[in-house]
Amino acid sequence: MALEEKYKALTDAATAAGITDLAVREQDGILYIDGTAADGATKDHLWEVYNQIDPNFTSGDLVLNVNVSIDAAVTHAKVVTQSSNLNIRKGPGTDQPIVGKAAHDEIITLVNRSNDLWWLVRTKDGEEGYCYAQYLEAQA
C-alpha cells in the first residue's frame, strides 16, 4: 500500500475534483487509477499533480487513466492538435489511408464515438473518416 501513500495527493485531488467511477488499486507494484473527469481542465490538473509527485513520469509505478466524460448529446468537436492539421483516415488506425484533413482549432461534426480511440467525424466540406480522439475536444 506504499504506492497509495506516495500518490495520496493525487487521489485526494481526484476525489476533490469530483472524478466519477474513481477506482484506485495496486497490482504487481503498480498503482492503477481510473475514472472520468467532468472536463479537460480537471484531467490536466490531475496530470500536473502526478508530475509534481513523479517528475517527468520516470518511476513507472502508476497508470493514470482519467477520461473526460462526454454528453451523449454532443455533436461537435474542436481539433486540439498542438498546431498542425489533423488527419482524417478511412479506418480507425494510422495504418489506414488519409482521406482528408481538419485544421487546428476547426470545429467538426461527430458522427460516431463507438470506438474510444478513433472517432468517426465529418468536416464542413463533407469529408468523412476517423480522427484520433485524443486530438478532439467535445464541444458542449
Residue 93 grid coordinates: 488506425
Closest distance of CB 125 from other proteins, Å: 23
64 binds other proteins (CB under 8 A): yes
Helices (H) and strands (E) in the chain, counts: 3, 10
114 binds other proteins (CB under 8 A): no
Give the residues across from 32 on adjacent strands. 25, 63
Contact range with other proteins by CB under 8 A, out of 3-11, 53-61, 69-77, 98-106? 53-61
Smaller CB distance to other proteins: residue 60 or 126?
60
Closest distance of CB 134 from other proteins, Å: 5
In this structure, are strands 30-37 and 98-102 parallel, antiparallel, or unpaired?
unpaired
Question: 24: helix, coil or strand?
Answer: strand
Do the beta carbons of residue 111 and residue 77 sit within 8 Å? no
List contacts with other proteins (CB under 8 A).
21, 23, 25, 27-28, 30, 32, 34, 43-44, 47, 51, 56-58, 60-61, 63-65, 67, 82, 93-95, 116-117, 132, 134
